Homo-oligomer: A and B are copies of this chain.
Amino acid sequence: MTGIAFTCGLDAALAVIGGKWKPLILFHLAHGTRRYGELRRAVGSVSDKMLIQQLKELQADGIVDRLDFKEIPPKVEYSLTAFGRTLAKALAPLCVWGTEHMSAVETLMSRRQISEEEDAA
C-alpha cells in the first residue's frame, strides 16, 4: 500500500502542480514558448537547481515539452504540451480567484507568519 490513490480529483491535480515554482512556470508557459533563460528571468528569484528540477518533473508528467536545439551555445525551448494546456484551462478559474483575492490572501499569510513567530516565543 504505497498511498498513491486519490480519493478526490483535487488531490490528483495538486500532485501535479504542487511544487513551489510549478504554478509560476505553468503561468508563464501558458503565454507561449519560452527559452530556459527567459523563463528563469520571468519567474524571478528561482535558482537554477529548482527551475530545472521542476521542469524535469513537469516534463516527466507530460505537462511541458522540452525542445533541445543541440546548438552551441545551448538553446532549449520549453512549452506546454496538449495535455498541459488542458491543465492550464482547468487552472484558469483558480488563477482568477487568486488574483481577485490576492491582497486578502497576502495579509492572511503574513498573519500566519506572525503567529508562527509568537509560537516560537
Contacts and interface: CB of A to CB of B under 8 A. Distances in A.
Interface stretch (A19-27, A47-55, A64-72): A19-27
Interface string A77-121: 000000000110111111111111110011011111101000000
| Copies of this chain present | 2
Q: SS class of chain A's interface: helix, strand, loop or mixed? A: helix
A19 B16 CA distance: 14
A77 to B, nearest CB: 21
Contact of A97 (B5, B9, B98): B9
B8 A95 contact: yes
A45 to B, nearest CB: 8
23 contacts: A4-B110, A7-B27, A7-B44, A8-B23, A8-B95, A8-B98, A9-B94, A9-B99, A9-B102, A10-B24, A10-B26, A10-B27, A12-B99, A12-B102, A12-B105, A14-B14, A14-B18, A15-B109, A16-B105, A60-B112, A62-B108, A90-B94, A93-B94
